[in-house]
Amino acid sequence: MPPCTDAMRGGDTVKNSKRELLLSALLTHATVREAAASVGIPETTAYNHLRDAEFSAEYRQRKREAVAEASAFLQFRLTEAAGVIQFLMNDTKQSGRTRLDAARTLLEFGFKAYTDDEILARIEVLEQSMDESGQ
């Protein structure tokens, strides 16, 4: 007897395609309700999928990948954005308020970047210390 293929299973193929559609919809819609509606399934079914460990793990992985892509795009644009803020800050044709806001923005983000780096460095030292002590 030949092995059972996806085409022979029928229901499994439909389930898997709905599962894939729901995974994609959850990443592109603001709410579970909207995602479920876009796929044509009840909201409760979507929540049941989200309670499933395998589905939930796949959703979290895809969400991490989407956030990583968005983060890479933003990092690429940071220098450009900083240049715009610097231009506004130095442009004497801008209002005093605009120049002050630009200066404040640079200071706030510069300080945040510094403190974030400091915190990350401290965490790395703690993690290394824990690894060395076997914890």
Domain residues for the domain of 100 are 74-135
Asked, for residue 61, whether it belongs to a domain, the answer is no
In a domain, 135, yes or no: yes
Number of domains present in the structure of the chain: 1
Q: Which of 26, 34, 36, 12 is nearest to 56 (CA)?
A: 26
What's this model's pTM, rounded to 2 decimal places?
0.56
**Residue 60 included in any domain:** no
* DSSP collapsed to 3 states, 102-118: HHHHHHHHHHHHHHHHH
Q: What is the pLDDT of residues 45-58, one digit of tens each?
A: 999 999 999 999 99
Residue 22 lies in a domain: no
The residue with tokens 């403190």 is 115
Supply 71's token pair. 């983060």
CB neighbour class for 49 (10 Å; exposed up to 12, middle 13-18, buried from 19): buried
Rounded to whole angstroms, the Cα distance separating 79 from 88 reads 14
Per-residue model confidence as pLDDT tens digits over 102-133: 999 999 988 998 999 999 999 999 999 998 88
